[in-house]
Structure 1
């Protein structure tokens, strides 16, 4: 028998046969529970069938420590959650200084600069990898999504540090900032086209590539300005406080405005992650290759820590009066209409009569989870010194949950939260010293490089 015949026989042995199909159908039909679930799920959403009502009705939305007395924001049809969560953290102190109840920084302003900086970051990565084949795994990863909306805490800090902030009135939302798909489509095509041409210029050296990069960035600048408007260099800032007292600061630059109204020391914040994979030791710092938005900004660095520490530090910050930025896999075990998360909210095993046995490490390793969304902890329910549930400011508007504020049971935190931003001064000494170590570099496609949207 030839080698080709062996391959044919092995392929046949692995194919689905009529006998196997008959057996699968018989096994399904012989169990009344399967037919019952089929009737239910073909007529109703599976989450309605799988919902554990004992958990849903047992959730009390009150918390012992609640910070928010402001309105929730709305990122609409965009992936700017990380940016909204960061600005929501900063607006608390700004509102207090201004003497107003509700205040928003311009999300559109920061979006403009993130897109332009990220275009430059992508093109520099293309130049750096232009000696590799186009189907090299890293190059393919870069080309797969050259300019999405998502981001990370360190990327937010880099934008504020370089470009400052402005109030929402100085650069309000546009149709495209609230619904970025069409703008992103044009930008992605321009950047992939630019990547093609930069790679063709590789033989002429980096200098020639950067000369051509300027042309690509000129096109990106036009697209952003057409869709989002022109970011202000200076603006007149005046307002009326809650007591109806009028104030005028005069003409300010974005850097001057940020210096006056950002009340938190952003440089003191570090990103703690929970990565339970065996390859990711606790107490070590990590970075991900080609993860960032601002060239020459400090790299995106994580410090891996135990989940109990993430919970304790987040709890301590909220109890101390400060909201906490965090990233998670938002769609897992989520009931959106009432704004609830719980690790056991849906009993899919009972619906499908199939085990779901992967833990958090397995889900990371096998691409079943990653950070997808960033929000803000604005409350915590503490019982006997431990958190029981969390209050969360989402950026999906006021229509769901408690006018846009959601409830997270602590069981969900452990399973589906990946990172928090906390002050370095809050870390245990041994972890604080670990921040000075050179980070372990993970490949560009590692799931810990996922961007929150």
Structure 2
């Protein structure tokens, strides 16, 4: 190994001191910060928030200090439909309700994976992976489908936000403490030769404690409730004694089996037009398997445009922190000219970013519009879940080039796919490792 010598560092410092351009940039960056000094106003000018296709939505929602973007995005796609069907000006489904059941199911999913790997050493990469983050707020499209299919949904009025759903750090901290401690017991039971029935009995006791913890922290999930609202024509409506399942069937009515996840992962280990799943990725034991169809970006965007043209918004996953301005809500590859500020080439290809840990899906939002010029998309309208104080009343704009580089997943109706694409999706999936970037949770 070669060390850094004092002489080498002194040479670097001297060269910098003699470069007047870099000294001028130093003053700006030290005073204002990297991004503020590098921000390119042309990105805002080129991504004016007007779109040729614009799906009607209500006001944006706010996930606050939690990682529930994937839930908010899914519930928002349903909310768009309900606003139109019921002539509502504003309405939200309960994010706290889905949050409760997701945490509950993730605990059981963790226990079962701990039991499945109990014959492996603690130093095993799979066991270490499980223990590093037993559960978290994030998730995948197929995981929220499993929650809806098992538990239905409820209006926000039936289970409002709680302090711990809006700021989930304490819930996650103590829930993960308990899960790690329970993992010790479960692994010891397996090592001592206890029967499966004996182990499951202990696990049931743990799940009772999990249920109690969640109920005390988040409130009790409703089993029966009344749904009342007044529409935009001032007509009053009420239906009594609905269950979460009957409410979903009557007022949402989306057949979730009609939708599939499309990804764009242009790495050598993931050929296009093949299906993929990820080992140990899920939340509901016995629920829907996480599965993707990998396609090229041209196909990816064509499917998205078609669904938007038909008036339906799209759940999508991306790396939101890359080349984006949180305050103005511009996501564009030219948002910051950091290369020019430092005279350093920071560029990588999309495949290189995935392979070398520079990017992965970090956030889920909703595509609600697209601007099409001469048949090609130029920019995309994005409904975020960070409240109305960012972007254009909470809506962001993504340039088409940004979509190419930092968008990884969309959820599309099956009937928009070709027979060949459906066959590829339904074929036996290639199983990816738990730590593969396509296993990232939004």
TM-score (norm 2): 0.97
- Alignment-derived partner of residue 3 in structure 1: none
Gaps of 5+ in 1: 1-10
8 Å contact kept, 2:47–2:379? no
- Alignment-derived partner of residue 298 in structure 1: 288
1:92 to 63, 80, 101: 80
Distance 2:184 2:17 in 1: 55
Report deviation, 1:226.
1.0
Distance 2:263 2:121 in 1: 33
- Alignment-derived partner of residue 173 in structure 1: 161
Gaps of 5+ in 2: none
- Alignment-derived partner of residue 22 in structure 1: 10
- Write out aligned runs for 1:132-151 (5 A): 132-151=120-139
Rate the CA distance shift 1:69–1:424 in 2: closer, same or farther, 3 A: closer
Report deviation, 1:263.
3.6
Is residue 274 of structure 2 the alignment partner of residue 284 of structure 1?
yes
Is residue 436 of structure 2 the alignment partner of residue 446 of structure 1?
yes
- Alignment-derived partner of residue 304 in structure 2: 314
Distance 1:82 1:408 in 2: 18
Distance 1:238 1:65 in 2: 32
Number of residue pairs the alignment of both structures matches: 440
Distance 1:340 1:55 in 2: 7
8 Å contact kept, 1:333–1:344? yes
- Alignment-derived partner of residue 337 in structure 2: 347
- Alignment-derived partner of residue 56 in structure 1: 44
Distance 2:96 2:145 in 1: 16
Aligned-pair RMSD on alpha carbons?
1.1
Q: 103-112 or 55-64, which moves further after superposition?
A: 55-64
Distance 2:8 2:198 in 1: 62
Distance 2:48 2:205 in 1: 56
Is the partner of 2:371 in helix, strand or coil? strand
Report deviation, 1:310.
1.2
Report deviation, 1:337.
1.3
Report deviation, 1:65.
1.2
Q: Deviations over 1:301-347 (max 9, x none)?
A: 01100111111111111111000110000010001111111112111
Is residue 221 of structure 2 the alignment partner of residue 234 of structure 1?
no
Is the partner of 2:44 in helix, strand or coil? helix
Distance 1:342 1:97 in 2: 34
Is residue 251 of structure 2 the alignment partner of residue 261 of structure 1?
yes
Distance 1:104 1:55 in 2: 32
Distance 1:207 1:72 in 2: 48
- Write out aligned runs for 1:45-444 (5 A): 45-203=33-191, 204-444=194-434
Report deviation, 1:96.
2.5
Report deviation, 1:371.
0.1
Distance 2:9 2:196 in 1: 59
Report deviation, 1:351.
1.2
Q: Which runs of 4+ in 1 moved over 6 A?
A: none
Is residue 52 of structure 2 the alignment partner of residue 44 of structure 1?
no
Distance 2:119 2:166 in 1: 38
Q: Deviations over 1:19-74 (max 9, x none)?
A: 22222222322222221221111100211111122232333211111113410000
TM-score (norm 1): 0.95
Distance 1:92 1:239 in 2: 16
Is the partner of 1:420 in helix, strand or coil? strand
